[in-house]
Amino acid sequence: MKHPSTRALFDYWNKRRGLRLAPARSDIDPAGIRHVLGDTLMLAADFIDVVRFRLAGTRVCALFAREIKGEAFNSLWTEGGRTQIEKLLDSVVNENAGIVAGLVGRTEDSDEAKLELLLLPLAHAGEGRIRVLGVLAPLPPPYWLGERPLIELELCTLRHIETDRADAGDPGFGRVQEGQRKRHGLLVYSGGRDLPPDKRAG
C-alpha cells in the first residue's frame, strides 16, 4: 500500500472489524476517516446486478472532472478490463478478499496518471446486498489532474488481502455475514511466486 489514504483506510477498516471478517456499514463513521474522505469510495448493489458508486469523495470525482455517484463502477474501465474488474469485485464480496491494485488512468489526449485502488468488503445481511469500501488515489497527482478528466482505467498490478481463517484454502467460503467472528490477521498474496508452499499448484 503506497498511498497514505490507502494505508489509513485499511488500518481503520481493520480496527473496526475487530474479530469479525469485516465491519458492517454501520460500523464506518465518516468522522473516523475524515482526513481521507476525499479519496474514499463506497460501492453498492441492492438487489440488482450492477455495482455502482454509492459514495465518491471529492478527489475521486476530480479524477474524472464530474460527480460519479450513481455511475456503474465497470463503466470507468477499458472495454477489455471490465470482465477482469467484475471478477475482482466478486472476489471481494464472495471470498472476503480485499484487493490493492495499481492502475493507469488515461485522458482523451492519452495523458496517463498512476493510481492506487483499495477495495475492502463490508459485512451485510441477506443475499441481495453488496457493500464495498475503498480508496482511489493518484501516485502522485499529475499537474493537469482536475483539468483533464480521466476517461478510462486500466488494471496493471494486483495484490489480494485475505482474512486469516482456518478454511482459507477453500475458494468458496461465501459472503461475509454480520456477526461472523474469527481471529485477527491478514495474508497478503502478491501472485503465485509469493504464495506459501501449501498454496502453490502442484
At 48-105, the pLDDT tens digits run: 778 899 999 999 999 999 999 999 999 999 988 888 998 888 888 877 789 999 999 9
pLDDT for 177 equals 43
**CATH class of residue range 4-194:** alpha beta
pLDDT band at 150 (very low <50, low <70, confident <90, very high): very high
Range of 146-150, 180-184, 193-197 with top mean pLDDT: 146-150
Domain boundaries, the chain: 4-194
CB atoms within 10 A of CB 32: 15
Nearest to 165 by CA among 42, 27, 17, 6: 17
Q: Which residues are within 8 A (CB) of 121 and not within 5 positions of it... i.e. 6 or more apart? A: 21, 22, 92, 93, 96, 97, 98, 131, 132, 133, 176
Residue 174's region, left for phi above 0, alpha for psi from -120 to 50, else beta, is left
CA distance linking residue 197 with residue 199, whole number of Å? 5
pLDDT for 32 equals 93
At 26-36, the pLDDT tens digits run: 899 999 999 99
User: Hey, what amino acid is at 90?
Assistant: D
Which phi and psi angles does 136 have, rounded to 5°?
-135, 115
Q: Is 195 helix (H, G, I), strand (E, B) or coil?
A: coil
pLDDT band at 171 (very low <50, low <70, confident <90, very high): very low
What residues are paired with 132 via a beta bridge?
A: 43, 121
On average, the pLDDT of the chain sits at 80
At 122-134, the pLDDT tens digits run: 987 665 567 899 9
Instruction: Compare 114 and 20 and report the one with higher pLDDT.
Output: 114
Once rounded to an integer, what is the mean pLDDT over residues 177-199? 41
Once rounded to an integer, what is the mean pLDDT over residues 116-143? 85
pLDDT for 169 equals 36
For 58-118, the DSSP string reads HHHHHHHTS--TTSBGGGGB-GGGHHHHHHHHHHHHHS-EEEEEEEEEEETT--EEEEEEE
Instruction: Compare 13 and 176 and report the one with higher pLDDT.
Output: 13
CA distance linking residue 34 with residue 57, whole number of Å? 11
User: Hey, what amino acid is at 101?
Assistant: A
